[in-house]
């Protein structure tokens, strides 16, 4: 079933950025065509010294610092040390509805999370926006969008909900800080939070 036809879409729909994944995935290049095994090899690398992250504290910090950025905050800064990748998932304008063109990307994540190599791990979905619109609205919308990806993975694709967490970063952590309104800043981070307890 349409096994080869999705290749073009994957180039548009799934970009991986060097900036944040670099530490754990030195071989990953930008704008690269990704497949399931590449997603897995990136996410399965887990350092034993990886810091524990409390998602409730991330929410607290983000809400208390709207418009001031999150990258340097004590809990958010821990995220940079974790194994992760960045994907592009497009949504309808000002909505939490994932564009059909991005279904494949969500499916690729589902395939990876269902592989036995990743069974034991829990994951954080972080939604990011560009700086168009108000910072507070962007924070709220990106949280809802991250939740929508979480919901799709845990219902349609039956990933166990206790392995999934989602949070919005709004415009607070641009990948291109020199151009906060750039569309490149709209992205989704998928972060390995470590072993399920």
Partner 1 sequence: MIERVGIFAGAALAAFLSITTLGRADTVSYADAVTTLAKGCGSDIKRFCNGQNLGNGRIKACLEKNASKVSPTCTSTLGSVMTSIAQRQEAQASVFKVCQHDISQYCNGVKGDGNILSCLVETKRVDNRECNQAITDAGWR
Look at residues 105, 192, 121, 102 and name the one whose alpha carbon lies nearest to residue 160: 121
Q: How far apart are CA 103 and CA 91, in angstroms?
A: 10
Q: Around Cβ 135, how many Cβ atoms within 10 Å? A: 17
Q: Kindly calculate the radius of gyration of the chain based on its CA atoms and give it in whole angstroms.
A: 16
Which residue, 115 or 163, is less far from partner 1 as judged by CB?
A: 115
CB of residue 76 vs partner 1: minimum separation in angstroms? 26
**Which residue stretch of 64-72, 74-82, 117-125, 182-190 sits at the interface with partner 1 (rule: CB under 8 A)?**
117-125
Which residue, 95 or 134, is less far from partner 1 as judged by CB?
A: 95
CB of residue 74 vs partner 1: minimum separation in angstroms? 32
**Which residue stretch of 21-29, 63-71, 96-104, 167-175 sits at the interface with partner 1 (rule: CB under 8 A)?**
96-104
Q: Taking CB under 8 A as the rule, which mask of x and - marks residues 129-168 in contact with partner 1?
A: -------------------x--xxxxxxxx----------
47 interacts with partner 1 by CB under 8 A: no
Largest CA distance in the chain: 48
63 Cβ neighbours under 8 A, 6+ residues apart: 139
Q: How far apart are CA 2 and CA 5, in angstroms?
A: 5
Number of chain positions touching partner 1 (CB under 8 A): 39
- Specify the DSSP element, H or E, that contains 38: helix 36-43
107 interacts with partner 1 by CB under 8 A: yes
Q: How far apart are CA 74 and CA 92, in angstroms?
A: 33
197 interacts with partner 1 by CB under 8 A: no
Q: Which residues bind partner 1 (CB under 8 A)?
A: 1-3, 5-6, 9, 36, 44, 92, 95-98, 100-101, 103-108, 110-111, 114-120, 148, 151-158
């Amino acid at each position: 079933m349409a096994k080869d036809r999705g290749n073009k879409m994957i180039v548009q729909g799934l970009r991986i950025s060097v900036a944040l994944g670099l530490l754990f995935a030195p071989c990953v290049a930008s704008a690269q065509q990704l497949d399931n095994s590449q997603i897995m090899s990136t996410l399965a690398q887990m350092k034993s010294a990886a810091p524990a992250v409390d998602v409730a504290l991330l929410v607290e910090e983000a809400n208390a610092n709207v418009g001031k950025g999150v990258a340097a905050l004590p809990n958010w800064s821990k995220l940079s040390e974790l194994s992760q990748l960045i994907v592009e998932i497009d949504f309808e304008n000002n909505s939490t509805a994932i564009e059909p063109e991005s279904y494949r990307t969500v499916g690729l994540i589902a395939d990876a999370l269902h592989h036995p190599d990743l069974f034991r791990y829990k994951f954080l979905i972080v939604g990011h926006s560009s700086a168009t619109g108000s910072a507070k609205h962007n924070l709220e919308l990106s949280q809802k969008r991250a939740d929508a990806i979480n919901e799709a993975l845990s219902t349609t694709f039956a990933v166990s909900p206790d392995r999934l967490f989602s949070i919005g970063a709004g415009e607070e952590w641009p990948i291109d800080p020199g151009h906060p309104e750039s569309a490149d800043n709209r992205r989704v981070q998928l972060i390995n939070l470590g072993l399920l307890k």
